[in-house]
Amino acid sequence: MLIRTSCRVGKSNGETGFNLGGDAVCRFLVTGYRESQHLRPCHLPPTSFLQVDMAVLGLNNPCMPRPEAAHRVKSYSAATGFVYQYYFYEVEKSKCGAAEGTEYVYMVSVDRKHVFPVRIFVNKHALDRYSARTGREFTGTEEYAVAKMRLFQAFDEVEELSAKTPDLLVDESNLEALLSQLDL
């Protein structure tokens, strides 16, 4: 049995189908059964149908915009005297020059009115060398923790972070110091 469906917006002019509410009408076609089984197929061109759970011409679920998520805003009292509010925004694989790695983006505010991004690039090569030396691979959680410790270090060291908004880097020069704070 093959079930095909077709949905459109408009009035149902007495065609075989069912109403989904409003002006949306969904029609169906069942093949593999005889008319004697009381199933009457719609007489629509086969190209206008979609198979159940699978689109004929593409993905079942089209790309959707990123949903707005509720972020957990946290505070950090820095050694510089500022109290920062920040939340984790996104992570993605990226490159910094020729180096491959992961970029973590935090949204930060000093005055709770203006938010600016702080990007932290974690160098993959530095993590791989440390893993080879210690014989232990980094987990995603540990990599996130290293990026967050670098964010805290910037809060403590950079006087006017909101004016400068530097792109921060975790590489071989500061990886061991950050890991020592985490007891890894």
Tell me what the mean pLDDT of segment 92-115 comes to: 89
Tell me which DSSP letter residue 58 carries: S
Does 78 score more than 80 pLDDT?
Answer: yes
Parallel/antiparallel/unpaired status of strands 99-109 and 115-123: antiparallel
What is the spatial distance between Cα 150 and Cα 157, in angstroms, rounded to a whole number? Answer: 10
What is the structure's pLDDT at 125? 92
Does 121 score more than 60 pLDDT?
Answer: yes
Does 30 score more than 90 pLDDT?
Answer: no
Q: Structure tokens of 26? A: 């969904």
What is the structure's pLDDT at 159? 82
| Residue 111 banded pLDDT, cuts 50, 70, 90 | confident
Tell me what the mean pLDDT of segment 134-158 comes to: 91
What is the spatial distance between Cα 124 and Cα 106, in angstroms, rounded to a whole number? Answer: 19
What is the structure's pLDDT at 59? 59
| Residue 12 banded pLDDT, cuts 50, 70, 90 | very low
What is the structure's pLDDT at 138? 86
Residue-range domain boundaries for the chain: 2-51, 74-182
What is the spatial distance between Cα 30 and Cα 33, in angstroms, rounded to a whole number? Answer: 7
pLDDT, averaged across the chain: 74
Answer yes or no: pTM beyond 0.85: no
CA-closest candidate to residue 55, choices 109, 118, 5: 5
3-state secondary structure of 98: coil
Tell me what the mean pLDDT of segment 62-90 comes to: 85
